[in-house]
A and B are shown apart, each in its own frame.
Chain A
Amino acid sequence: MSEIKIAKTLDAKNLSCPLPILKTKKAIADIEIGEFLEVLSTDPGSVADFKAWTNSTGHELADQSTENGIFRYIIKKTK
């Protein structure tokens, strides 16, 4: 993981479904292909949603971790 450089961070904490996904869709448009987007969410449902969203859109969920109730996603833009 050490080689991953975050191009942009999206703070989606305290937002309910579907806002974290909708804001992620917008945020990923702001970075270049091959770059990484970091998303922070407090929505426990986001774990399943980010898996589904990346599966569906083809972007890569490079890493997912949880700390103190905050879900952190690292998404690699692939297209």
Chain B
Amino acid sequence: MSEKKKRLAIIASKADIPGAYPPLILATTAAAMDYEVGIFFTFFGLNMLKKNKLNKLKVTPAGETAMPMPIPQIVGILPGMTGMATMMMKSWMKGANVAKLQELMDLTVEAGAKLIACQMTMDVMKIKRKQLINECEVGGAAAFLEFASEADITLYM
């Protein structure tokens, strides 16, 4: 194919379950649509690049008023509630045959997506390169902007 590929650039800044899915769903789908894909993982989003972390991401009911749990909001902050909400959400997702986060990340890597780990976040959160998956590169705002400057779609998530 000689025509220029379309390009998707994403900034992933969250790493709870509802925050981690959208970047990976869009990245894998865009790759399946023959797009070039790049994701800049910053702040909490950097957790998505940690080894063996994706299956441990959680969802908190505190502050999430649309969470379909039969409990008052104030109860959501109690110990154990995040674990319970996470368990419930994982079971709903399994029931709906939603791909696991790790499965989507594997496909993203396999598609050759450019995965940029934010150096500044690594410094702030004292995360070392060896804690991150091998397939990512470390960079900063300029590295992402250079990629995104040629993008057809750029999303902040």
Is the A/B pair a real complex?
A: yes
A residues engaging B (CB < 8 A)?
A: 14-19, 21-22, 24-25, 52-53, 56-57, 79
Instruction: Assess whether B142 is interfacial by the CB under 8 Å rule.
Output: no
In chain B, residues 11-33, which have Cβ atoms closer than 8 Å to a Cβ of chain A?
25, 28-29, 31-33
Q: Which residues of B contact A (CB under 8 A)?
A: 1, 6, 25, 28-29, 31-34, 96-99, 107
The answer to whether B25 touches A17, judged by C-beta atoms less than 8 angstroms apart, is yes
Is A16 a contact of B32 with CB atoms below 8 Å? Answer: no
A22, B32: Cβ atoms under 8 Å? yes
In the bound assembly, the distance between CA atoms of A25 and B107 in angstroms comes to 11
- What are some 29 contacts across the A-B interface (CB < 8 A)? A14-B97, A15-B97, A16-B96, A16-B97, A16-B98, A16-B99, A17-B25, A18-B28, A18-B29, A18-B32, A18-B99, A19-B97, A19-B99, A21-B29, A21-B32, A22-B28, A22-B29, A22-B32, A22-B99, A22-B107, A24-B32, A25-B31, A25-B32, A52-B33, A56-B6, A56-B33, A56-B34, A57-B34, A79-B1
B29 to chain A: which residues have CB within 8 Å? 18, 21-22
A53 vs B33: C-alpha distance when bound (angstroms): 6
Q: Enumerate chain B residues within 8 angstroms of A17, measured Cβ to Cβ.
A: 25
A53 touches B25 (CB 8 A): no
Residues from chain B with a CB closer than 8 A to the CB of A53 are 32-33
**Best-buried of A14, A18, A79 by chain B (most CB within 10 Å):** A18
**With a CB–CB cut-off of 8 A, which chain B residues contact A19?**
97, 99
Closest chain-A Cβ to B55's Cβ sits at a distance in Å of 18
Q: Contacts A25-B32, A53-B32 known; A18 to B25 CB distance under 8 Å? A: yes
